[in-house]
Amino acid sequence: MKITPLNIWMTNCYLIETEKTAIIIDPAFKRQKLVDFLKENEHKERLVLITHGHFDHIGGAVNLREETGVKIGIGALDNPALSDDDLNCAASFNRSLTPFDADYLYNDGDIVKVGDIELKVIATPGHTVGGVSYTTENLVFTGDTLFKVSVGRTDFAGGDFSVLEKSIKKLYTLPDETVVYPGHGESTTIGFEKQNNPFVRL
């Protein structure tokens, strides 16, 4: 499995490729590079996955669906944020997004099968009400739930630190060597965060 992180306006967007699969996690904003990736991988099963409904993680999704026909998946409780600039925080940053709905709505424990990859959905609310993490093999995409030595903000709509803390403790049950690919900043591991994260430790 090849994972390519793209830094788009401070947000990590991840391209995942295997022989039969092409996935984009958090298409932050509209970029031709993302369209090209899906077009180059037209013969594979393709999917756009969103960790949570904030404007800086979803901004490129509609364009990708229009240009390539790719489907979009998100945690069920964050779907309303895709069509609400207050919930997705675009309004707070004087922006507005084209409203849309996801094609697939996920709940905790769901398995997402795309080509030869299976990702498990872990509900990780607290930063938003419907935030999810996606895990496969020895890695996890945590969106804005868990960062390297930091955690997501809880002062936006739907944020709640005690809920976030529970979500992070759930992530801490993954094996220590699990690589964490967060929505912002550098990657880390579950084991490192359990020892060093100043906000949530076991």
**Interface residues with Zn ion (CB under 5 A)?**
54, 144
Ranked by CB distance to Zn ion, the top (closest) residue is 54
Q: Which is nearer to Zn ion, 46 or 54 (CB)?
A: 54
Q: Between β-strands 104-106 and 72-75, what pairing exists: parallel, antiparallel or unpaired?
A: parallel
Measuring CA to CA, how many Å separate 170 from each of 105, 114, 180? Answer: 21, 24, 13
For the bound state, the minimum distance from the C-beta of residue 181 to Zn ion, rounded and expressed in Å, comes to 15
For the bound state, the minimum distance from the C-beta of residue 127 to Zn ion, rounded and expressed in Å, comes to 6
**Contact by Cβ (8 Å): 114, 21:** yes
φ, ψ for residue 65 (rounded to 5)?
-70, -40
- In angstroms, the CA 108 to CA 110 distance is 6
Q: Which is nearer to Zn ion, 44 or 57 (CB)?
A: 57
For the bound state, the minimum distance from the C-beta of residue 184 to Zn ion, rounded and expressed in Å, comes to 8
For the bound state, the minimum distance from the C-beta of residue 11 to Zn ion, rounded and expressed in Å, comes to 9
For the bound state, the minimum distance from the C-beta of residue 146 to Zn ion, rounded and expressed in Å, comes to 12
- In angstroms, the CA 59 to CA 71 distance is 15
Q: Which is nearer to Zn ion, 17 or 144 (CB)?
A: 144
Q: Which is nearer to Zn ion, 54 or 194 (CB)?
A: 54
- Helix, strand, coil abundance in the chain, percent, nearest 5: 25, 30, 45
Contacts of 196 (CB under 8 A, 6+ apart): 149
Q: Which is nearer to Zn ion, 70 or 81 (CB)?
A: 81
Q: Which is nearer to Zn ion, 38 or 122 (CB)?
A: 122
Measuring CA to CA, how many Å separate 86 from each of 59, 130, 180? Answer: 14, 15, 29
Q: Could you count the other beta carbons within 10 Å of the beta carbon of residue 69?
A: 10
- In angstroms, the CA 1 to CA 4 distance is 10
For the bound state, the minimum distance from the C-beta of residue 75 to Zn ion, rounded and expressed in Å, comes to 12
